[in-house]
Each structure stands twice: as C-alpha cells, then as structure tokens.
Structure 1
Amino acid sequence: MKKVLIALALFLSSFSTQAQSGYEITIDLKNCNDTLAYLTFYRFDKTLIKDTCTTIKNGRIIFNGKTKLPKGIYSLVSQQKSILFDFFIDDDTQKLQLKSEYGPNISKDLTALNSDRENEFFNYIRFLGDQNKAFMEYKQSHPLATKKDSLDLTDKQNELEQRIADYENQFINRFKGTFIADVVNLKTEKKQKDIPKKADGTPDYDVSYKYYKDNFWRNVDLKDEGMVHNPFLFNKLKTYLDNVVVKHPDSVCVEIDRILAKSKPETLIYKLMLAHLTYTYETSKIMGFDKVFVHLSDNYFKTGKAKGIYEDDDVVQRIIKRADKLKPLLIGAKAIDLSMIRAEDFPKMKAMGFEDAKNSEEMTKVFYKNVNEVNKMWVKLSDVKAEYTILVFWDVDCGHCQKEIPKLVTAYNEMTHEKKDVKVFSVYMQHEGDKYLKYIADNKLPFINVYDGAHYNNAIEKYDVYSTPVIYILDKNKVIKAKRIEAEKVKEIIQSLEKEAKKQS
C-alpha cells in the first residue's frame, strides 16, 4: 500500500507540473458581441498573433496552450482587429482571469481577478491616460495668444512629465525585481530633476545631457528576453541612436557596440537588434552613415557574431559583399581612380572599332590592337588639379539628370565667378557618343566631359552607380568629402568644407 501511495503521489506531482506548464487566459467581457478575438504580443518593432479564440460565449474569451507564454506585454484584439487593452504575462500570470465591459470604459473597468500586480499595472495605464487627458483639456482651453501662454503650457507639460516620472519611480521601486517593473523602467527616461547651474547662473545643459545619456540604459537588462516582448525597446533604441548619441557615424558605431555587448549573440533580443541596425544603416539616407553598415559587416557578420539571424545563410554573404563594395566609397576614403576618354575623342574611338565590338572578347582585341594610341588619350581622375573636384556620373536620356545637370552647371559657373578652384569630372555612363557630344554643345557643358570609351573602368561597380545621377565631392587629394548629393547642394557643401578647412589651418 505504501508503494502505491508513493506512486500515486509521484503521478499527481507530475500531473500538477504538466498542468502548470501551459497557459490559460480567461477574459469575461460584458456586452461583447464578437465571435472572434485574438491574443497578440509585441516583438521588438512588430505585433504578432499568438492565439485565436473562435468560441466566444456570453462575452467569455479563453486562450490556452500546453506551453508557457514568454514573458511580455500582450494585447486583446477585437474581431475588427483593434487593440482593446494590454496586459502583461510573466511566470506568475500564466493562469490569468480578467474582466471588463466592452465599450468606451473597457480600460476603466478592467480588473484582474487573481493578480494584484496586474491590477497595479492597469492602475498605471489609467494614470497615464488621466494625465494626458488633463493636459489636452488644459491645452484646448488655453489658446497660445501670448508668449506667457506658451511658457505656461511648457510649465504645465513639465509638471505632467514630473508627475508621471514620480509615479513610475514609485511603481518600479514597489515592484523591483519583477518583470513589469523592468518594463516600466525600460519606458522611463532618466532625466535630472533639477538642471544644474553654471557659474553665471544659467542652466548647464551639457551636464544635464551627460546625465541623461549616461543613465539612458540604467537597470535595463538586455540579456532578459522579456525585454524584446514589449512596445518600448524598439523606440528606446531608435531614440538613443537618433536623438541622444552625437550624430556622427563613429559615435554611433561605438554606441552600437556597447549596446550589443549588453546582450548575448544567441538570444532573440540580440538577433532582432542586430538585424534592425543592419537594415537601418544599409538603407540610411543620411550621408556618411553607410560607414555604420560597413562596421556591422566587419565586426559582426565577418566574425560569425551574426550567426542565426537569418534563415537563409546567403543573406549574410550578400550583406558582407554589399559592405565590401561600399567600403572604398566611404566619406574619408581616397576616391578610386578612373581612366576615361574625352567626349571629343569619340570619333577616334569609333574609328578604332570600339563601338562595333559585340562582346568582351572582341573588345579586348580592339583594345590591344590600339593600346598605344588609347594610352595617349586617357584622362585620369587623379590627374585633375583642383581644390575640389565634383565627380558626377550621369546619362543624357535620364530624366532626373536632365533636371540636375543644368543645376550643376549653374552652381559651377557661380563658383567659377567667385574664383573658387573647382572642376567637374563629368562621366557619361553610356556610349552613344554622338548624342553625348550634341548635349555638350547644346548645353555648353563647361566640364571635363568624359566617358568610358575603352570599356575599361566598370564605373557602375566601382562607384556603386545603380541609378543616375550620382554626385561626389573630392578634395585636392581626391579624398571623398561628400557623396550622393543633389546638384543644388554642391555649392553649399563646398562652402562648408572651406570653412572647416580654415578652422583647422
């Protein structure tokens, strides 16, 4: 009998463990007529569906599963696919019972029947809503007619922010060590309560900024996978890199390394952050920030620290290949030399047979047959003597080029009139020489007008010319100072470079 009782006890213990390993979320929603509801969860910058209830009866919605839910912020989503409310799930709330009333008071009446901590989270959400509502009512009832009105509104906003900060700090301290406290901590911004003063009595914003930056990630555990399952991490990362860190690619690279070092390469949070950062800086429209993309390739993808981020391993190789292509074209790199043919020498090149060659083999034969003559005709980018060289790749038939090239002519003529030592190395990307010569004559292009007459350079690959026009600015040593800019910005950028050079001299 004793053995039977022991066996039964072990069985019941095993059964109990299995029963607790799953989840069950029961929501009683009064006056709910939906027949379908979704359980969704946050994952970095996305919202994903975790479960679906298709058997709603009398407003009772039940989601259940055999395995535990990951820690995170979850949402009840209606049949119309609108979020009704958020709640959190951790190890203590896998069996959760909620109730409310469908309609405008759904958040006000929201209650957890078996979790005091969940109710405190709901109180926090309601507090935020009440504070924002009060501020909006104040704003609507106080039109900004005078400067004093604007100052009063700013004071009111500061009061609101301080009340929220105080509430959040109390919440974090009260529930310290719990998942939801960590989530609220992730959301909060750690600003100094009182801005220190300089010796002359004015606010010392430099000290205030340093405090804000140094404390931005305070107590945020990026090794905790639960930090990726909420709506705050993505925005916090974006805010930090876009608005807090000094807007320079070198500074961004340093900060990215620090952030990723706080996580572990095998974790989901690490993989999602690295994938997001890679895409962000590969596609960045801010000049010079492709350097961050190259940095990520060199330090994470080439070193194996990006393993498992993409299901297709070929993606990693494509990223590396793309970064290697951009590396020689970064701001500060010396421009790749080009050996071109002057536009006016097109008839000579045509007579040699370059335009009649049908494939690379025939082209090679024509080249070596005329190599001595062609060698006398080269116009090299590196031989251009000027304080600044504008390198432009374009096409006569390109609609955008037809708008940009005249603007570049105007900018060049203005700079020449101002005695600036500037030249334009104008590279036509096609081989229709007659059309090119006509355009030069009709528009009086005052540039060094060249083209790849000997099919020698492959400028498309060398300079990543996947569309035209593409404009680079080089200094007197042919170092890239600006790239992929609009023609109307050329003069302004050169003026800025001149001012910078004067400061350094």
Structure 2
Amino acid sequence: MARSYFYCFSLFFSILISSITVQGQSYKISLKLDALTDSTIYLANYFGSKLYYADTTVVSKKGVALFEGDEELKAGKYAFVLPGPKLYEVLVDDDPFFEMQADTSNFIATMEVKGSDCNQLYYDYIKFINVKKTEVTELNEKLKLASEDSTKAESIKEKIIKINEQVSARQKSLLKDNPDNWGAQVIGMTMPIDIPEPPKDENGVVTDSLFQYRYYINHFFDNVPLDNPAIARTPEFDKKFKDFFNNALLQSPDTVSRYADEFIRKVEYDEELFKFVVHYLTYSFETSKIMGMDAAFVHMIENYYMKDKTPWMDSTSLANVTERALRMKPTLLGNKAPYMRLHDTTGTKFTSLYDVEADYTVVYIWDPDCGHCKKENPKMVEMYDKFEDKGVKVYSVGNPHENEEWIKYLREHPEMGKLINVSDSPKHPDYFRTYYDVHSTPVILLLDKEKKIIAKKVGVDQLEQIIERELTKNRS
C-alpha cells in the first residue's frame, strides 16, 4: 500500500462553516400545517448545497409552527424539516415576516402564502412545474407504447417539446417581469443559456467555430444575480458555480486560474460569498485528479492565502496550507526538475539528475516497503526495455533515508539494475523529498531533454502512453 502523508485541505472546512452565522434583524415565520400537531419542526438554512439547522420549534395543538427570533435570518433558501424527515423549501428575503399554510398530505399543491411575494411567486412556479412534469411523464409513457407508430411518436415528441417551451417561456417571463424578486432570481439561476447560431459566410459555412463556446462561457452567469450575497445560501448557485469551473471551462490550470480571479473580483464585496468561492476553488484545485491542476492550487494560495485575504484562517491552518503549496511549486508542469545529486548502492559514486543525457528522463521515486511500488517496479523495467533505444532513461530514486532495505531489494531484483539506481543517506543527505513533494510513493515524473517536467503523478501504464504520444509528436 502506498505510503501517504497527504495534508487534506478539507480538514479546515469546518473553520469556514463555523464562522458563518445567521444573525442581524429579527424574523417571524409562521407555518400552519393541517393534520400535524405536537411535532418538532426544524428550519434549516442552505449554505451552498448543504443544510445547517437554524431554528427549531414545536407545532402547537392548532397546527402552527412558529419560528421567530431577535437575530437576523439572512436572505437565502431555507427548508422546513418535518418528521420523516421531509424537506420543504422556503425562501427568505429582506422581509422575513410571513405566513404559510399547507396540508402535509400534499404540501406543495395546497401551499398558501401571506406576506411574502418571493414565496408566492416561487410556489406558484413549483406548482406549474409539477403539472408540466406530470404531463411529460404521461406523454413519455405513451411514447413507449407508440414506438412502432412513427407518426404518433412524432406527434407525442412535438407535444413534449411544446411543454418544454412553455416552461422556458414561463421562466423567462418571471425573471423579466420580476427582476428584483428573490423567488424569480432563484428560478433564474436554474435557466439554461440560449446560445445563438454561429456566424456564417454567404455560402452558409461557419466562420467562427468557437463562437458558441465563447458565448456560452461569457454568458454563463447571465441569470445569476452576483450582486446579491444571498446566492451563497442556495443550492442553485452552488450547482451553477461548480458546473462552470468543473465542466464548462477547459480544465487547464492557466484557464481556471484566470477565470477564478475574474469571478472572485465579482464577489469579493461580500465576505461570506468570497469565503465560499475562495474555499471551494482552492479545495477543488488541490484535490483535482487532472494532471497539472496543482498549479491552480498554488495560484490560489499565493494570491489569496499568502496575501492576508483569508482572515477566517487560523495561523496553524494557514501555515499548513502555505507549506503545502510551497512543496508543490518546484514540480509544477513546465518547471525544470529540482536538482538532485545522489549516490549508488556503494555510497561512493554520485550521479546528478542533470548528468543524465536522454531525450526523456523518468524520475521514479519509490520505497522497497511500499506495496504499490512493488507492483510498479517490474512495469517500470518493462517500460525501460521498450523505450531504451528511443532515448528514454530512468533515474530511479530509493526513498528510504536508511539504505539497507533499498540495497537488499535491488540485490533480490537484479533486473532493476538496468535503471540508474540512486538514493541519499544519513552521511549524504538530500532534500529531494521536499523539492519533489514526496508525501506518498511511488512518485513518477517525465522530463524532456531540457529536464522540464512534462508529466507527473501518473502510473507506469499511463506513462507509456504519454511517452508514445511525445515520440509520435516529435516524429511528425
């Protein structure tokens, strides 16, 4: 099993949440529930896609659940948590004094609202959507039965398309006619972007193949009220925001870093929204499985955490995450590999990484006690045999500071002798574990002729594919 010393950024997520409180002016929300008495009801607030308890009450004998307090209930999306548990959403804007009434047997269909325009609009819309969902479900069932009747099937499909158009028209109308209504803004965040056709020449040939993609990216947040801090307390914004950075954007560190900075500038006016965005992006970049994305993590740490823009971080957590970024930075893609000059099994002959003359150099840091390394070692030898005559060499670094087990393993596996086997020792220590961010083994990097890092954090199987691709690219 691979040895791991990974410091997980998510450990201090609790610091972020603990600093988020719901406080300020008073509130009073009444929920009348038919056929439900003497039950405990919770009011939970969203932060992103997660729910946190904000208040609790007991339903009176008259079926009334009353939530009230002297502190502020910040604008956002909340949920009534009924026994079961059953969750029913409720919106809170700048006027948190309203009444709602419903029958628990059909909460949404029977919902009545007094004193809250945003909830009235929102629940009218949900009722409309539920009706349309039922219509589409029935049509889909008919479509299954009409699979052999193409004319009938097309007619059903047209009806489904018409319903979707009705929903889209309703969404656009609500947002256009009620731009400042919190309910309309929440609905707007779920709306897809209408992308126009690309420009074409007189022959109908598209003249800008990237037009639609650029439009999609540039208008992705058109229906998101970024000037309203309440969006941080909605799952709709959470989904939209994460979809943009995880799916819509090209997943390259330069691209996501640039858009991260642009987006952060738009939300830095609000401390809570700023924290939400900065934390998520930092954590997402650090834990990304995409090679090279650690550069985006380093970018976030250097430009926000190390510049005193994250006051919610305590000194210990800040020091830990800063150290993590500083360890990552030397081996970012495109950098020249950190210098190493290590000795062989005799402890007398030294070989520098930069003395290795090869078109491609594999830096392979492994440990004889590492179970995963034992599986990768024979693969590494096979890979070397396959590419030796194509200018590939392997600088094989034993991770143990004490050399006995490393030497013993090499003696028991003479095939490893084909590689350039080196290590350090108490007598000749080296800092490669720090410079190469060795928090687990094995560590594999691929360097070009100039010793620039072109691949990292890969297994031997993936390494072979990358080398094949590089060789093909150079032949063309």
What TM-score do the two structures reach when normalised by structure 1? 0.81
CA separation of 1:120 and 1:305: change in aligned 2, threshold 3 A: same
Report if the CA contact (8 A) 1:275-1:309 is conserved: no
**What is the match of residue 283 of structure 1?**
287
Once the two structures are TM-superposed, the CA of residue 265 in structure 1 deviates from its matched residue by 5.6
**What is the match of residue 452 of structure 1?**
424
**Deviations for 1:316-375, whole angstroms, at most 9, x for unmatched residues?**
2222221111111100010011111123x2xxx4xxxxxxxxxxxxxxxxxxxxxxxx4x
Counterpart check, 1:106 vs 2:107? yes
**What is the match of residue 175 of structure 1?**
178
Report if the CA contact (8 A) 2:37-2:59 is conserved: no
Alignment of 1:18-97 (within 5 A): 21-33=25-37, 35-83=39-87, 85-92=88-95, 94-97=96-99
Report if the CA contact (8 A) 2:332-2:453 is conserved: yes
Alignment of 1:212-223 (within 5 A): 212-218=216-222, 220-223=224-227
Once the two structures are TM-superposed, the CA of residue 202 in structure 1 deviates from its matched residue by 7.0
Distance 1:213 1:161 in 2: 24
Counterpart check, 1:423 vs 2:423? no
CA separation of 1:55 and 1:142: change in aligned 2, threshold 3 A: closer
Q: Could you tell me which amino acid in structure 2 is paired with residue 72 of structure 1?
A: G
Distance 1:408 1:112 in 2: 68
Q: Could you tell me which amino acid in structure 2 is paired with residue 87 of structure 1?
A: V
SS in 2 for 1:63: strand
Distance 2:373 2:141 in 1: 49
Q: Could you tell me which amino acid in structure 2 is paired with residue 100 of structure 1?
A: A
**What is the match of residue 406 of structure 1?**
378
Counterpart check, 1:326 vs 2:298? no
Distance 1:74 1:241 in 2: 25
What TM-score do the two structures reach when normalised by structure 2? 0.85
Q: 2:410 aligns with which of 434, 437, 449?
A: 437
Report if the CA contact (8 A) 1:185-1:220 is conserved: yes
Greater RCO, CA 8 A, separation 6+: 2
Distance 1:338 1:71 in 2: 56
Once the two structures are TM-superposed, the CA of residue 165 in structure 1 deviates from its matched residue by 2.6
Once the two structures are TM-superposed, the CA of residue 484 in structure 1 deviates from its matched residue by 1.0
Counterpart check, 1:191 vs 2:184? no
Once the two structures are TM-superposed, the CA of residue 383 in structure 1 deviates from its matched residue by 0.7
**What is the match of residue 496 of structure 1?**
469
CA separation of 1:435 and 1:135: change in aligned 2, threshold 3 A: farther
Unaligned runs of 5+ in 2: 1-23
**What is the match of residue 224 of structure 1?**
228
Report if the CA contact (8 A) 2:397-2:423 is conserved: yes
Distance 2:416 2:326 in 1: 38
SS in 2 for 1:232: helix
Distance 1:449 1:160 in 2: 68
Q: Could you tell me which amino acid in structure 2 is paired with residue 386 of structure 1?
A: A
Counterpart check, 1:472 vs 2:466? no
Distance 2:364 2:416 in 1: 16
Distance 2:434 2:28 in 1: 57
Alignment of 1:107-256 (within 5 A): 107-143=108-144, 161-192=164-195, 195-196=197-198, 198-199=200-201, 201=204, 206-218=210-222, 220-256=224-260
CA separation of 1:258 and 1:315: change in aligned 2, threshold 3 A: same
How many residues of Structure 1 are paired with residues of Structure 2 in the alignment? 443
Distance 1:128 1:498 in 2: 55
Unaligned runs of 5+ in 1: 1-19, 350-373
Distance 1:40 1:483 in 2: 44
CA separation of 1:469 and 1:139: change in aligned 2, threshold 3 A: farther
Computed over aligned residues only, the root mean square deviation of the Cα atoms, in angstroms, reads 2.7
Identity %: 29
Report if the CA contact (8 A) 2:47-2:234 is conserved: yes
Counterpart check, 1:481 vs 2:451? no
